[in-house]
Structure 1
Amino acid sequence: MRDLADTTRWAAIASIAWALALGGCDGPSETATATAGAESATMAVSGAGSSFAAPMFNHWFKTYAAAHPDLSLSYDSVGSGAGIDRFLDGSVDIGATDAPIGADEAEQVGGDFAQLPITGGMIAITYNLPELDGPLNLPRDVYPAIFLGDIYRWDDPRIAAANPGINLPSKLIQVVGRRDSSGTTFAFTNHLAAVSEAWAAAPGVGKKIDWPGGAMEANGNEGVAQRLKITPNAIGYVEAGFAQRLGLPLAWLENRTGGFVQPNVDTGRRGLADGADTPPDDLTRTIPDPQGSRSYPIVTYVWALVRADYGTPEKTQTVNDLLRWILTDGQTDAESLFYVPLPANLAQAALAELDALKP
């Protein structure tokens, strides 16, 4: 007979599973929208894209709309790829992406635009091993091999060697990846390709990839995190805050200097600094394998795609003012949501690029 703790745990898992079933088993619907200030609004501004940054955008829009009751703000957490598509076709005012757009996509914008870094964060490798006592160390030659399917058991000697004294289960590893076009996937695979020649050869880098082996798939950071929550012996990658909020453990990853580092705001900040004292000059530069002995190795900026002209001077100024607030006062609460606020000089560089946009 199960004891009370087992009964409670399985009831919670069943509850989450039922919620996923109602939502198509992929987490929140892609049409779910966070809206603030709609009741008395006279102007609407819409955003869509990155699920990685959705909690941050929802917080920003709620806070800003509270001080601007004449403004309606909405954000759809649909993934970076869909957010870019919506920005390109003009169906949203602001696109949010964890993967900066390239020249081919830029040509489709149809007018001057900018892609501005607005926050930073960490991609965590998280897992569901309820009986594991203590954090899991994953060397940089091991976690790419897990996602390639070359390491497929939790008690593999290469995992065990990095975790002495930990009783690893004799179970198959279930990989969980993203189904949708995702900037989180781009940043994650960009890192894997930087540290693994095998990964660079195939599947490579992209917002959407063909996952090796029998990987499970889900939409959005929300869907992957929830899938991991209900799947014993699973492993996957999500924005670190999603894992933290669901109580999922965060693996300590080996960085390029050989140290095992946990994801937190301090190690994420060091990773985004990439061993330098000043932020990058290129506002769209990615950091696939950061330098620095205390740097967390999988980090990314989130970029906002913003147009120079929104049809009327009033709408253009409204969007400009919103982005200006995000780049200044809006950075204040990033740490409390497990994101990394922009360094002041990088925020200033983004503001300068915003100011340079002319309708």
Structure 2
Amino acid sequence: MHIYGFARGATLAAAVLVAAPALAYDISGAGATFPLPVYARWAQSYSKETGDRVNYQSIGSGGGIRQVKARTVTFGASDQPLTAAELEAAGLIQWPQVAGGVVAIVNLDGLKAGDLVLDGPTLARIYLGEIARWDDAAIAALNPKSKLPAQPIVVVHRSDGSGTTFCFTDYLSHASAKWKETVGENVAVDWPLGMGAKGNEGVANNVATAKGAIGYVEFAYAKQSGSTVVHMVNHDGRVVAPSKESFRAAADNADWAHAPGFFRLLTDQPGAQSWPIAAATFILLPKTPKDAEAARVALKFFDWAFVKGGAAAEELDYEPMPSSVIALIRKSWSENLKDAEGKPLVR
């Protein structure tokens, strides 16, 4: 099911809106930095097509959750999904809007992207401080054909709370029982060692300037900054590169149909092609919004993104959600969203 005329064709819906600019609407959203490039691109294209404006502030997942709970924005965005119980307590629904990946990046002389392979347990041991040099036997065993430098490893991590950190630490918790027990997963953790940097830009800059450094960033930013990306051994024991295909494999292999409130993480998914540090980013919306019309416009925007935003997402190295998941999301909208009079918000 599509909303606001999409069932009859997106072009017709757009034509109606453009023909009546007086009905143009402004909506506000806030939250995760991970999807900012694609949300900004979508908002720009959508505004040109419809006249409606989507004002999105990338203040971090925690800030987005707080603002939508306080009903100070039309929608929130978070890379860390809320549990079904948390959603119920806050009167919210959530859904995955787009997927992407987090990658490890390094600064090692003579090695280019893909020349270095790591697996989850080894990456966790590096961030725990148990592996301190690049010529360690555990790294050498994964890279028999690469010449590894005999130099210390400089660990770089985020200093600010972020969904990128949540995804990365959740993966390390899957890979290492010790990591899960001593550090765990969250948007901010007590790092055992290393230097902190703010944002993806800060991590990438610190890695670029420190010989022997390793850090983690969103894949889209790694490509834009020209960072040396590490390939990973995935859940099925296969060496994979980060790409829209490996992100798609992770999203396709996730069991969204049996995920209450769409609470599903994409880290360490099975599948020969699955990228192991994949992530979905989520939208949060009140079940009974204060401004029903603003909520309808938000849904119209996100449905437009499902229908027309796939190419832009892939161009920016994100992966659109599978069609089967989009069908589940639209069903959730129709079943859970009501206006103040109890009438379905989607019509």
CA contact (8 A) 1:174 1:233 kept: yes
Letter in 1 for 2:320: P
Residues 149-204 of structure 1: per-residue CA shift (max 9 Å, x gap):
11111121211222123222222212111222222222221111111111111101
CA distance 1:313–1:256, shift in 2 (3 Å): closer
Q: CA deviation at 1:310?
A: 3.8
* Partner Cα separation in structure 2 for residue 224 and residue 59 of structure 1: 24
Task: Report which of the two has the higher share of helix.
Answer: 2
Instruction: Say if 1:41 and 1:72, in contact at 8 Å, map to a contact too.
Output: no
Aligned residue among 127, 151, 154 for 2:131: 151
Q: Which runs of 5+ in 1 are unaligned?
A: 1-39
One-letter amino acid of the counterpart of residue 120, structure 2: R
Deviation, 1:106, is 3.0
1:317 has 2:296 as partner: yes
- Please, which of 183, 194, 218 is the counterpart of residue 239 of structure 1? 218
Is 1:167 paired with 2:147? yes
1:60 aligns with 2:60: no
CA distance 1:301–1:280, shift in 2 (3 Å): farther
Distance 2:109 2:224 in 1: 17
The equivalent residue for 1:302 is 281
Among candidates 172, 185, 198, match of residue 219 of structure 1 = 198
| Structure 1 position 107, deviation (Å) | 5.4
- Please name the residue that 2:171 is paired with: 191
State the distance in 2 between where 1:272 and 1:192 align. Answer: 19
Question: TM-score by structure 1 length?
Answer: 0.81
Q: Check the 8 A contact 2:251/2:322 in 1, yes or no.
A: no
Aligned to 2:311: 332
Deviation at 1:247, TM superposition (A): 0.6
C-alpha contact 1:192 1:200 (8 A) present in aligned 2: yes
Residues 78 and 220 in structure 1, CA contact (< 8 A), matched pair in contact too: no
TM-score of the pair, normalised by structure 2: 0.83
Residue 358 of structure 1 is matched in structure 2 by 338
The count of corresponding residues between Structure 1 and Structure 2 is: 314
Identity fraction in percent: 34
Matched, 1:44 2:26: yes
d(CA) in 2 for partners of 1:314 and 1:107? 22
Q: Tell me which stretches of 4 or more aligned residues in structure 1 moved more than 6 Å.
A: none
Please give the alpha-carbon distance, in whole angstroms, between the structure 1 residues aligned to 2:278 and 2:218: 9
CA-atom RMSD in angstroms: 2.2
- Structure 1: distance between partners of 2:242 and 2:302: 27
CA distance change for structure 1 residues 123 and 159 in 2, over 3 Å: closer, same or farther? same
Structure 1 position 137, deviation (Å): 0.7
Residue in 2 that maps onto 1:72: 53
The one-letter amino acid of 2:37's match is P
Match of 1:121 among 97, 100, 108: 100
Aligned to 1:137: 117
1:118 Cα deviation from its structure 2 partner: 0.4
Give the secondary-structure state (helix, strand or coil) at the position aligned to 1:142. Answer: helix
Find the aligned partners of 1:59 and 1:228 in 2 and give their Cα distance: 28
Alignment deviations for residues 247-285 of structure 1 (CA, whole Å, 9 cap, x no partner): 1122111112222111111111112223x7x75432222
Q: Secondary structure at the match of 2:294?
A: helix
The verdict on how the C-alpha distance between 1:355 and 1:222 changes in structure 2, with shifts beyond 3 A counting, is: farther
Instruction: Note the C-alpha offset of 1:136.
Output: 0.6
Distance verdict in 2 for CA 1:309–1:319, change over 3 Å: farther
Say which SS state the counterpart of residue 319 (structure 2) adopts: coil
Structure 1 residue corresponding to 2:156, chosen from 135, 155, 176: 176
Structure-2 residue corresponding to 1:281: 258
1:219 to 1:148, Cα distance in 2 relative to 1, 3 A: same
In structure 2, C-alpha distance between the alignment counterparts of 1:257 and 1:144, rounded to whole Å: 18
